Structure 1
Amino acid sequence: MKYIEKYGMKLSKIGLGTGRFGTRIEEEISFEMLDRFVENGGNVIDTARNYYEWVENGRGISEKTIGKWMAKRCRRSDVYISTKGGVRNENINFFVNLSYNNLLDEIEQSREALQTDNIDIYLLHRDEQERHVEEIVENLQKIQEKIKAKAIGVCNWKAERVMKANKYAKLHGLIPIQIIQTWWSIAAYTPDMWNDPTTTYMDQNMYEYLKKHNMLGMAYTSQAKGFFQKAISEGVDNLDPFLKKRIATPENLERLERIREYSNKNGISPTAVVNGYITDNEVDGIALVSCSKLEQLYDILENCDVIINEDWLKEMAVEK
């Protein structure tokens, strides 16, 4: 397992995404995934208050599943918990409320579900662009102090808003936004991947800002839904039609051949290449992985230590 030291934490560069834990993935399998992840050196567990909220009794179940696992296995001190708040949703409709009172209510619910007083990493899950960024920064400070978070950040924020927030924080001696979570993978992004205007991706502005300020990027959908691995093992024509529609663009098909060539030449798994695009990037990154099957997690963990050539990674840099 590769690690990075940031904000007083030694973080695994593979993080476990847990959005379906307790809903689409039953508790027993969720526990086994968490067990295997930690046994193999992983220590970053990513969740959110509103994951699978559209499922009956789904709100908070991911957090609750993690909390039960930590309590049962006595693992709280072995992991860093990252959770997100400020959002309610109904299917693809998101309702953002970054007022202090709402964030406070949600964080109390998160702490109860996770069975812990301290949240290591706290992120705002969406931006509320109608609310002044200065107020949001102040609210985030209060939450950070209350939960003694080691790092604070945002998810699905555009670079311009992050810059404005951090300018205000610097002027007033406050903690800046330290971590950005966004869509980031070796696949070239297209709007069809999400069909959701409230999500963001690693564009050139954000990439350069993180690099300049030595900030941490947390990459969700870092595996591009397994597109490259599945395409190499099964063939593009045999892929799920929805996956093909989302990702099989001419540029990504070209990237597929580059990944296949690099993997064959170096005798490594395509999974190692997909992981390494984030974990060996010149921007400090954590690849968040979400698996529906244990076999997928095993594949990722078995191939997370390979070092990918720096020059090749630069050649593969997505036009952002």
Structure 2
Amino acid sequence: MLRRRLGGPSGPLVSALCLGAMPFGTTVDEKTSFAILDRFVEAGGSLVDTADNYAFWAPGGTGDESENTVGRWLASRRRDEVVISTKVGARPTVPGSGLETAEGLSAPVIRKAAEDSLRRLGTDHIDLYWTHIEDRTVPLEETLGALDELVGGGKVAVLGCSNHAGWRIERARALARTNGWTAYTCVQQRYSYLQPRFDVGLPESGHVHATSELLDHVRSEPDLTLLAYSSLLSGAYTRPDKTLSAAYDHPGTGQRLTVLREVAAELGATANQVVLSWLLGGDPPVIPIVGVSSVEQLDEVLAAVELELPRETRARLDLAGRG
């Protein structure tokens, strides 16, 4: 499988596709989760993304399920076969509640959450550790200092931030450089081929979409890597039962979908494969996080790595729906 560096030329080498483990242990049972993980690694995949709150919103969920499932699977593998990505900050502190009671990013929370994630994952280190949401009630210095302690102690290797405003990302990176701390070198935002209206916003709680400004920033920063979640919009490109949110209700959506379907037919590919190829080969290149619920779905997205979009085709996709 195609490989990418996380966080610049000195970062770890990972697969160009990242497997999202959000539903593992809740809506995807353990046997199926293990089969998906096994197939991903067999195909050359190495980057697996989870969080300390997946999936608290599922019936009976607590937030432990995904990390626990990945941890039990890891116990049967060589640890150096995979790069584990997990997150801190968005775990509810009140059972049954949502992000309004999120644990946040204070130093005590980060230290405890990291230990809890290490225990659930059954490992002694986290390869990529994310601040899952912003917490503006805590000084950046406190958050970044605690993260740097984890890196210094060998418990975390690479740092990333998810669902952060662009200006906060750069402020945090500048502050880390000033203090000699480990900086964020990965950003994880919602991003796909279809583009939302930013005046409407996305209903999914806490989701922040990658803007053209952020893409330009990543393009200009050699040590910054962008990962895209919801890259396939939860199946909306191919499943008629999946509806798009109001943020995508604008003329550009229909125009882009028309061109996407034309390109897929011309290339003998699925719409999902074209979207992933578009992300992988874009400027800047993006590492898509793909969530699947079966090995068959995984095989479809794995084929996207081998799909190369001709320059003229990519230009058609890029220009579709632009006024």
Structures share a fold, TM > 0.5? yes
Aligned residue for 1:227? Answer: 236
Aligned residue for 2:206? Answer: 198
- Alignment map for 1:269-280 (pairs within 5 Å): 269-280=270-281
Q: What is the DSSP-based 3-state SS (H/G/I as helix, E as strand, rest coil) of the residue aligned with 2:306?
A: coil
Does 1:98 find its partner at 2:105?
A: yes
C-alpha contact 1:122 1:144 (8 A) present in aligned 2: no
Amino acid at match of 2:64: G
Q: What is the DSSP-based 3-state SS (H/G/I as helix, E as strand, rest coil) of the residue aligned with 1:134?
A: helix
Structure 2 CA distance for aligned equivalents of residues 16 and 83 of structure 1:
12
Structure 1 CA distance for aligned equivalents of residues 228 and 185 of structure 2:
14
Aligned residue for 1:260? Answer: 261
TM superposition shift of 1:194? 3.9
C-alpha contact 1:280 1:310 (8 A) present in aligned 2: no
Structure 2 CA distance for aligned equivalents of residues 32 and 124 of structure 1:
29
Does 1:28 find its partner at 2:28?
A: no
Deviates more, 1:260-269 or 1:47-56: 260-269
C-alpha contact 2:20 2:291 (8 A) present in aligned 1: yes
Amino acid at match of 1:51: Y
Aligned residue for 1:84? Answer: 87
TM superposition shift of 1:246? 6.5
Aligned residue for 1:158? Answer: 165
Structure 2 CA distance for aligned equivalents of residues 241 and 149 of structure 1:
37
Q: What is the DSSP-based 3-state SS (H/G/I as helix, E as strand, rest coil) of the residue aligned with 1:195?
A: coil
- Select the residue among 140, 148, 157 that pairs with 1:133: 140
Aligned residue for 1:212? Answer: 220
TM superposition shift of 1:316? 3.8
Where does structure 2 lack aligned partners over 5 or more consecutive residues? none
RMSD: 2.2
Does 1:66 find its partner at 2:70?
A: yes
Structure 2 CA distance for aligned equivalents of residues 216 and 94 of structure 1:
29
TM superposition shift of 1:208? 1.1
Amino acid at match of 1:219: A
Structure with the bigger percentage of helix:
1
C-alpha contact 1:92 1:196 (8 A) present in aligned 2: no
Aligned residue for 2:3? Answer: 3
- Select the residue among 47, 54, 60 that pairs with 1:56: 60
Where does structure 1 lack aligned partners over 5 or more consecutive residues? 231-238
Structure 1 CA distance for aligned equivalents of residues 32 and 204 of structure 2:
29
Amino acid at match of 1:201: H
Deviates more, 1:306-315 or 1:256-265: 306-315
Aligned residue for 2:130? Answer: 123
Structure 1 CA distance for aligned equivalents of residues 305 and 234 of structure 2:
17
Q: 1:100-129: CA deviations, max 9, x gaps?
A: 111111111100111100100000100102
Amino acid at match of 1:45: V
Aligned residue for 2:46? Answer: 43
